[in-house]
Amino acid sequence: MRLLPGLAWRHNGAMAIRQTQASPADAELPRRESHNPATGELLGSVPTVALGDVRAVVDGVAAVQRAWAAVPLAGRAAVLRRAAVVLLGELDELAALLTREQGKPLAEAYTMELLPTIDALHWIADHGPAILGDERIPYTQPFLWTKSSFFAYEPLGVVAVVSPWNYPWSIPLGEVAIALMCGNGVIVKPAPLTPLIAERIPAIFERAGLPTGLVRVVQGAGDVGGALIEHERVAKVFFTGSVEVGRRVGVACAERIKGSVLELGGKDPMLVLDDAPLEHAISGALWGGFANAGQTCSGIERVYVARELSERFVAGVVAGARALRVGDPLDPRTEVGPMISHDQAAHVRELVDDAVAAGAALRCGGPVDPPIGLSGAWYAPAVLTGVRPEMRVMREEVFGPVLPIVAVSSEDEAIAAANDSEFGLGASVWTRDRARGKRIARRLEAGSVWINDHSYSHGACQCSWGGTKSSGLGRTHSRFGFYECVEIKHIAWDASRTKDFWWHPYDESLPLAVSAA
């Protein structure tokens, strides 16, 4: 049975200077083209993988992985540190590639994708050996005094990373790095819209000394992802994408008794309390809502502001949104680039138009013509007021530069509205009172809650990443991300070499002795 036919990734998807060279066999397969979303320019193409060849790819990675699993933790860490150095040396080239292929402004390519992964490689290398080292288990039962136990963290084998188009470098690279530190081999299935940057991931690691073939990229349609899930040697799947597709991935993995980690998007609320630092909150809303043209899983998609601050807050956000520079993402002055595709822009327009037709007010922004000399789909940062909870723009993930703002009369009303969502990836609370912020954070149904900031911790590998409710299952990053990439084995040792008193044959006085004790 073939699972997931025609799988379509919603959040998914170098400069073609380094195109993958095709073998004669590759030449017979269709190639995956990459186009600049700001210009329509063909950047290059890469060979796709035939469905029947997926098994051979997995088997090849598994063969290399067996030797990698035997490398001591310190040796694995050394490769990751060297990878950070290699990445640093190619920083400018990779930033330009990210911007040309995905459309985010250069500043965001550096700060939201590349610099965080350099830090992640160092953190994983520095802390991985301690996290993955044998962990002693202290016993509390006095009759176990001759015994000792420990946890051993062993590689899963081969894992698959199905990565999105919105952060096509930082999301897969962080997951690949932890998986490698844990001794695994990795197969990356990138989004169709961003194939070129994905090809650079194994190249970075191999230049740092990673065995060739331990990390592979497979390009292709959704059925390639289905074939990865079906392969018995793929022990776990890390998927970032839509709820619809993620649910199918999770079911397919469960049917095969293999694990999955699912990051399925969000509808993050921002709570601006009556004691919020107003100007700071306005700046945070602009960045949290409009960075990467709003195409961020943990972007701000709903704002609940204290009624007494709402008029000034809305005025500040509208003025700030109008001032953001929309243009060529390669221009260092640009703050908002194009949408990744016309389809994504159409989805955003549909939700905004639906809200306006139902009575919401579009205070600024909306679809705009391409800047001079450019093409593609462009959407100026938009602010909506007069929205109601039942509107689609308040229920569905917009994944575009749109901020709906709602005035609320109390803290409890804000919390209830924030939790009234099928999603639970992130949330933020804006207040001058730290204790109040922490108290509210504990009441919010989200995997991460930021106080006076939003979303930034995906770039801090020390912090866990993942959501509640329909936003997914499992965690990446942090020590919990390591535990997702290992088999946890309990190993015990008995030094006494004598029969335990609870073994056969039972002593008839045993029940009395236990009862008396």
The CATH architecture that domain 268-453 belongs to is 3-Layer(aba) Sandwich (3.40)
Strand partners of residue 253: none
Amino acid letter, residue 32: R
- Other Cβ atoms less than 10 A from the Cβ of 52: the count is 8
Query: Does residue 437 carry a pLDDT above 60?
Result: yes
pLDDT digits (tens, 9 = 90+) for 95-125: 999 999 999 999 999 999 999 999 999 999 9
Name the residue ranges covered by the structural domains of the chain. 16-264+472-490, 268-453
Tokens describing residue 168: 């096509």
Residues 114, 86: contact at Cβ < 8 Å?
A: no
Give the three-class secondary structure for 152.
Answer: strand
In sequence order, which residues have a C-beta less than 8 Å from that of residue 280 and are 6 or more positions away? 430, 452
Query: Which residues lie below 8 Å from residue 80, measured CB to CB, with a gap of 6+?
Result: 121, 122, 124, 125, 128, 177, 180, 181, 208
Q: Are 455 and 288 in contact (CB under 8 A)?
A: yes
Q: For 234-259, how does the pLDDT look when each residue is reduced to its tens digit (9 = 90+)?
A: 999 999 999 999 999 999 999 999 99
For 492-507, what is each residue's pLDDT tens digit? 999 998 999 899 999 8
Q: Tell me how far apart the alpha carbons of residues 135 and 48 are, in angstroms, rounded to a whole number.
A: 43
Decide if pLDDT at 517 tops 80: no
CATH class of 16-264+472-490: alpha beta
Pairing status of strand 378-385 against strand 361-368: antiparallel
The Cα angle at residue 220 between residues 215 and 222, in degrees rounded to 5: 105
Nearest Cα neighbor of 62 from 188, 235, 194 is: 235
| Residue 227 · residue 57 · CB < 8 Å | no
Q: Is 35 helix (H, G, I), strand (E, B) or coil?
A: strand
pLDDT > 80? residue 15: no
The confidence score (pLDDT) of residue 2 equals 28
**H helix intervals, 90-219:** 91-102, 106-108, 115-132, 170-181, 195-207
Please tell me the predicted confidence (pLDDT) of residue 177: 99
Residue keyed to tokens 């009862």:
515
The whole-angstrom separation of Cα 358 and Cα 404 is: 14
DSSP conformational letter for 426: E
Asked if 17 and 92 count as a contact pair (C-beta separation under 8 A), the reply is no
**Helices within 388-460 (DSSP H only):** 392-395, 411-419, 434-443
Q: Is residue 368 within 8 Å of residue 326, measured between CB atoms?
A: yes
The whole-number pLDDT of residue 125 equals: 99
Q: What is the pLDDT of residues 135-149, one digit of tens each?
A: 999 999 999 999 999
What does the alpha-carbon distance between residue 224 and residue 162 come to, in Å, rounded to a whole number? 10
**Residue 392 corresponds to which amino acid?**
R
pLDDT per residue over 438-474, tens digit each?
Answer: 999 999 999 999 999 999 999 999 999 999 999 999 9
Question: pTM of this prediction?
Answer: 0.93
Phi/psi of residue 314, nearest 5 degrees: -60, -45
Share of the chain above pLDDT 70, in %: 95
